[in-house]
Amino acid sequence: MSDINTEAMSRAELVDMAQTLGVDYPDKIGTENLRKKINAALGNEPVALSKAAPVITGNAKERQFEIIISTHEQDKQPVQGGVNGKSFVIKRGQKVIVSESIVENLRCAMQRHYDSEMNMTEVQSYPFQIVREVTGEV
């Protein structure tokens, strides 16, 4: 979630922000639709009124897990990925229910960091926590 308030921005400011963020939009896009695209890029999507975690599935036959992807000061963008041709977008810091294949995809996403002596360390690209395995009951 970003601290940027797009509601107070003029159309010109929204266009500048879209260019800064690299948001693609058609030339004749309406101001409100442009605002929505920028908010989505910033991770400022409207908060759902339901307390149930959103469900992002890969394969319905797989085990399901409720997870939270860690928030990060430097990267506030939602996590995007894909499994077997199906794309997903997960908002950071929000509980979501995902299939086991998405958990494995996130677990295998690694970054390499090098220190001043060129020693390599691998860390998870998207650190996450498994809250619980989802069973039939809620």
User: Are 64 and 126 contained in the same domain?
Assistant: yes
Give which of 30, 100, 17 is closest to 66, Cα–Cα.
Answer: 100
Domain count, the chain: 2
| Separation CA 133–CA 40 (nearest Å) | 28
Q: Does residue 130 share a domain with residue 100?
A: yes
The Cα–Cα gap between 116 and 94 comes to 35
Q: How far apart are CA 124 and CA 106, in angstroms?
A: 8
> What pTM, to 2 d.p., does this model score?
0.56
Do both 31 and 59 map to the same domain? Answer: no
Question: Are both 59 and 114 inside the same structural domain?
Answer: yes
pLDDT value for 33: 87
In a domain, 117, yes or no: yes
Range of the domain at 13: 6-42
Looking at the fold, whether 70 and 37 belong to one and the same domain comes out as no
Per-residue confidence in pLDDT tens, the chain, 138 aa:
566 778 888 899 889 888 888 888 888 888 888 888 888 888 775 544 334 556 665 566 788 999 999 987 887 888 888 888 888 889 899 999 998 999 999 999 999 999 999 999 998 888 999 999 988 654
Distance CA(118)–CA(112), nearest Å, equals 11
Q: Is 1 a domain residue? A: no
- Give the pLDDT score at 121: 93
Do residue 35 and residue 60 come from a single domain? no
Whether residue 14 lies inside any domain: the answer is yes
With H, G, I as helix, E, B as strand and everything else as coil, classify residue 118: coil
pLDDT of 58 reads 58
